[in-house]
Amino acid sequence: MKVFISSDIEGTTGIVAWNETNLNSDVGDYFRKQMTREVAAAAQAAFDSGADDVLVKDAHDSARNIIPTELPQPTRLVRGWSGHPFCMMFGLDSSFDAVVFTGYHSAATVPGNPLSHTMDSGVANLTINGIQGSEFLINAYTAAYCNVPIAFVSGDDDLCQFAKKLIPAIQTVSTNKGTGNATISIHPKTACELIGQRVQLALQGNLDDCRLELPKTFDIVAKYKEHQRAYRSGFYPGAKQIDSTTIQFVTDDYFEALRMMRFLV
């Protein structure tokens, strides 16, 4: 069994402020370690469930947050950004049996996490077919594009609820519950224990239940914080500016949607 893990930081247990997501700050050092512990728990659970290959994509900021020696052997790790449109899912292909997400967070405008955002901070809002476009949704569709089931997600409570609606059989661990600029989080060690248990539960269950059907067409609306970006993005092939800060892009090929997002959000 081959398992792909994509790991972000803004849904890591206890995180609440932007400087805590920064690799180069003192407070960020603690959270890169907790991010690493959560990924390590998921990777160990994958091996304990019979995986012989686990590939982790460090998918936050510089993509150099995870501490490699803390991962169980023989985990492989993708560091840095390739420039490929798969972005936070780079390294995934149809040879994998399951996708796992750790440290994921709610989409821009969703109040369940003080750090809610979608891709870059200049994006005020992004929807796909009218659904709030979290990074989880974008990357779950990438998994579906590769025909790989989505077994597990950990992150803020609103995101876990969203994931359950999208894929009822998915296993989740809700790390933080956000209100305004605050979060109530579970204990970081409890989070790692639950991640281990539920990743195992998911991988030992019927993974076919965790398949997501890819929509036939993708109507993507991206609203920027600044009008200048919408003007420039309106020149991307197939994109059109629909008001001073908003562009729309419609395609029936998800790879084209990913290519657009690689350049415009």
Chain contacts with Zn ion (rule: CB under 5 A): 8, 135
Residue number with CB closer to Zn ion (20 or 135): 135
Which residue in the shown chain puts its C-beta closest to Zn ion? 8
User: Distance between CA 105 and CA 56 in Å, rounded?
Assistant: 18
- Phi and psi, residue 39, nearest 5°: -65, -40
**Which CB, 8 or 157, lies closer to Zn ion?**
8
Cβ nearer to Zn ion, comparing 87 with 144: 87
Least distance from Zn ion to the Cβ atom of residue 208, Å: 28
CB of 105 to Zn ion, least distance (A): 6
Q: Are 199 and 51 in contact (CB under 8 A)?
A: no
**How far is CA 208 from each of CA 30, 46, 163, 197, 260, rounded to the nearest angstrom?**
37, 17, 16, 19, 30
- Strands of the 239-243 sheet, one edge to the other: 131-132, 123-128, 218-224, 246-251, 239-243
**8 A C-beta contact, residue 159 and residue 105:** yes
Cis peptide upstream of residue 74 (ω within 30 degrees of 0): yes
**Which lies closer to Zn ion via its Cβ, residue 75 or residue 139?**
139
DSSP state of 139: H
Token representation of residue 139: 């990357």
Rounded-to-integer distance, Cα 262 and Cα 242, Å: 20
Closest approach of Cβ 73 to Zn ion, in Å?
A: 27
- Cβ-based nearer residue to Zn ion, 123 or 151: 123
Please, what is the minimum distance in Å from the beta carbon of residue 253 to Zn ion? 24
Smallest separation (angstroms) from Zn ion to the CB of 8: 4
Q: How far is the CB of 16 from Zn ion (least distance, A)?
A: 15
Please, which residue, 8 or 20, has the CB nearer to Zn ion?
Answer: 8
Between CA 176 and CA 154 the distance in angstroms is: 10
